[in-house]
Amino acid sequence: MADRALRGMQIGAKSMESEDGVVFADRFTAKYLCTNGHQFEVPFASEATPPATWECKCGQMAELIGEAMEDEEQKPAKPARTHWDMLLERRSIEELNEVLQEQLTLLREGKLRLEGHYRKG
């Protein structure tokens, strides 16, 4: 019975949906050029900001061609926060030295392993 119900229709080959009444978002295309000389276009929504680089089909990084993003270039580069910077936000150097001495004492007494796992007992 199921064979007759689907006769003449290629399952998965065609969509039963139509584009009637669908309003597409405004778009623009950004052009990219990779180091191997491939030039290609990527569509974006009109509100979107295209990234400066995009991966080409050959695997190389492609640079945005044409309109440069002045906003990104004018922003001062924010220095990356390191683990040490975040640690100093929470503790002073004196507190860190105290914690270091405590941990070294535990390590020397054999109560602390080098891997950081505490022994039982």
Provide the pLDDT for residue 85.
Answer: 92
Q: Residue 42 burial (CB < 10 Å; 0-12/13-18/19+)?
A: middle
Name the residue with higher pLDDT: 1 or 46: 46
Token output for 119: 């022994």
CA distance 32 to 55: 9
Provide the pLDDT for residue 68.
Answer: 47
Enumerate the domain spans of the chain. Answer: 25-76, 79-121
User: Is the distance from CB of 63 to CB of 42 less than 8 angstroms?
Assistant: no
Count of positions (residues) in the chain:
121
Whether the per-residue pLDDT at 1 is higher than 70: the answer is no
Reported as a single tens digit per residue, the pLDDT across 57-106 is 998 899 998 764 444 455 677 788 999 999 999 999 999 999 999 999 99
Reported as a single tens digit per residue, the pLDDT across 25-49 is 888 899 999 989 899 999 998 888 8
Nearest 5°: CA angle at 74, between 71 and 76?
Answer: 120
CATH level 3 topology of 25-76: Rubrerythrin, domain 2 (2.20.28)
